[in-house]
Amino acid sequence: MGRDKGDKKSYELKTPKGTKDWDGKDMVIRDQIFSKITEVFKRHGAVTIDTPVFELKEILAGKYGEDSKLIYDLADQGGELCSLRYDLTVPFARWLAMNSSIQSIKRYHIAKVYRRDQPAMTKGRMREFYQCDFDIAGVYDPMLPDAEIIRITCEIFEALEWSGRYTIKINHRKILDGLFEVCGVPTEKLRPISSAVDKLDKSPWSEVRREMTEEKGLDPEVADRIGEYVVLSGGKDLLERSQKDEKLSARGLLERLQKDEKLSANASAKAGLDDMDLLFTYLETFEVLDRISFDLSLARGLDYYTGVIYEVITEGSRPQTSEEEDRSNDPSVGVGSVAAGGRYDGLVSMFSGKKDNLPCVGISFGVDRIFSITKQRRAADTSAAPIRLNEVDVFVMAFGSGLLTQRMQVAKRLWDAGIKAEFSWKAKPKLPQQFKAAEVNGVPWSVILGEDELAKGQCKIKQNGLSEDHPEKNGVLVEMKDLEAELFKRLGRKELGSLPESGVLLDGAKNGMNGLSLEEAAREAPKTG
């Protein structure tokens, strides 16, 4: 750490434990994940909000059950005790309580959260990490928003090209509470026992039973009754678990539980089973029921959940067992769930103090865990396209004397047209160096200027990376006045004058396409200001 050396100090330069710098190809992969997730969120009509990175300590206190010990508390600064946000859900509920005029909203939020957990950096378990949340708040007919959340989740993992490689585990807090009551769990132990059951994805039943009985004081006979239920699952099972019963469908398990006289006689369990019956009907309509595993071991440890709960797992979610080949250093193994959420109908009223609840349901995607698996899969896929560090479409280069001004003019024309372009920042760069710069960044096209071609009002367009025997290996001549149109065609733009992302096509670009010279375009452009 810091050591005195006269008036100076030397430091070990490092990021804090559980954090990392992002750059290069890692940033590209992560941004692609953000983009695909955001596209799905917007497709479903969501708007975005932002909240402070820290909240008043009492806002976060008591909302996370046993996980509250992972909250980062901040020192008193100016008379307010604050904590770094643990997730994006509680701040959203606080925001809704402060904006009581908003009675319905589809909202997404992409931001960093903080947890004082034991990190495993390569597996995406960090102390500072991104979450991408989608939530629906408002009073609607039962299970419709819940079904859309599941549909959104499937769309996102299909967009990430995880088809067939993920499962959405689903359960219902009311079913769990009813199950615990039927088995004889005292009311005051419902949440602690639920938290223990939630560890079944990481620990064997024997360890969970020991925690229930020895640490939490549950009667061993009650624990054994619970064990007969929590081994049950129905539907897709990406991570095969040993269980006493034959493999059931999600519907099959639901029907079996509905026939259980003890569960059906319990008001909480019956309400949860009715919800699941309706939800499965909607998921069949959305054609995503086949991605579901109805799993009674899923409990979700957070205290604020009140209804349907779910989490998304992949083949890398399960911790390695002793019988498996050693893959402890594989970043794609043991990352845990990659998304999770559920219904939390009472959270807003905890802040507002109003008796009328504002029901909410949502899901949070763990980008860093998704990134860790995506990167590992890319590394193993020899057919995957190389990762480009930028999105430049065209590199503008020149023969001979460098033609710096002319390269700058062409780059300006392309920028005005919404085409991503670069050129060398040397006045007289050598041609091989220019091609090397384009190659390093994976730029797909080059515009090549030469004095003889410019004198005839022409230039060359070249597709980079063509084989030596390709007829267009050395590029094709085009008229300078048609440069933008020719590039639009080669870049796959559907029509001439396609708008850039900003939605603005600058006047210089439009004039250039009409065949005017750069000087004429400058004279003809409308005056502003």
- Farthest CA pair distance, the chain: 93
Q: Is 300 annotated as a binding residue?
A: yes
E strand segments, 164-218: 166-172
Q: H-type helices in 44-143, by residue range?
A: 57-60, 89-98
Q: Is 135 annotated as a binding residue?
A: yes
CA distance 247 to 233: 8
The residues facing 8 across adjacent strands are: 5
Among residues 158, 164, 160, which one has the least CA distance to residue 32?
160
CA distance 268 to 194: 15
Q: Is 3 annotated as a binding residue?
A: no
CA distance 135 to 156: 15
Q: Is 88 annotated as a binding residue?
A: yes
Determine how many CB atoms are found less than 10 A away from the CB of residue 209. 18
Residue 340 host element (H or E) = strand 339-343
Residue 234 host element (H or E) = strand 233-235
Q: Is 151 annotated as a binding residue?
A: no
Q: Is 382 annotated as a binding residue?
A: no
Contact between residue 258 and residue 278 where contact means Cβ atoms under 8 Å apart: no
Question: How long a stretch of residues is the chain?
Answer: 529
Q: Is 176 annotated as a binding residue?
A: no
Cα–chain-centroid distance for residue 482?
Answer: 41
CA separation (Å) from 122 to 15, 328, 335, 375, 451? 15, 11, 9, 10, 52
Contact between residue 292 and residue 156 where contact means Cβ atoms under 8 Å apart: no
CA distance 318 to 298: 14
Q: Is 281 annotated as a binding residue?
A: no
Q: Is 116 annotated as a binding residue?
A: no
Annotated binding-site residues for L-histidine read 87-89, 115, 131, 135, 300, 304-305
- Residue list, annotated binding site: 87-89, 115, 131, 135, 300, 304-305
